[in-house]
A and B are shown apart, each in its own frame.
Chain A
């Protein structure tokens, strides 16, 4: 069974860079798309972007200028960096696997990141 686990600092200072890693177990990171999705407290889900295991990426246009995703196939991990964060970036961040760019199949449990000065 494929499992995904997010990890990273739970508190980030305003204007700094949020960094999260998703570790994939029970399957290879190769041949799939890997996504990040976030959910501000009490609000809905927002797609951040995805990365194919080869390194090609596609980002939400509203976040594109601040987002970088990367993959480390040797560690079966992929990562998210979001720079110049503000309180509006406070959210639970989920990583997810996608069979295609059009939908998700497996999800991580989510990691809460709070942005505060």
Chain B
């Protein structure tokens, strides 16, 4: 069974830039997996950030951007702010209507 991989944790300084990645235990992520990204602040519901690789959801600031970097999907946050401190999850579409979440990345801003 294919596993979607994410860094367990990452830290960034306020104002800094960080890139989180989303890969596969076997194979490469491409746009054909329609990668999407979700932000979950502590104790809250997830919020949609990015879909179809690089399309920002309504109301999401342009500090958040999505891309394919090498063989992984990537979420880049520029000008990190304190309230960006959250768990970030990617989701990949595996075909046949099946979605798989990555394990999530806990982002610390300090």
Number of B residues near A (Cβ < 8 Å) is: 24
Give the dominant DSSP class at A's interface: loop
Name the contact of B48 in the complex, choosing from A50, A60, A61, A103 (C-beta under 8 A).
A103
Give the dominant DSSP class at B's interface: strand
Interface residues of A (CB under 8 A from B): 37, 44-47, 50, 58, 60-61, 94, 96, 101-110
B52 adjacent to chain A (CB < 8 Å): yes
Given A102-B52, A102-B93, A46 and B101 contact (CB-CB distance below 8 Å): yes
Name the contact of A103 in the complex, choosing from B34, B40, B97 (C-beta under 8 A).
B34
Name the contact of B51 in the complex, choosing from A45, A58, A60, A102 (C-beta under 8 A).
A102
What residues on A are CB-neighbors of B100 within 8 Å?
47
With the chains together, A58 CA to B94 CA distance in Å? 12
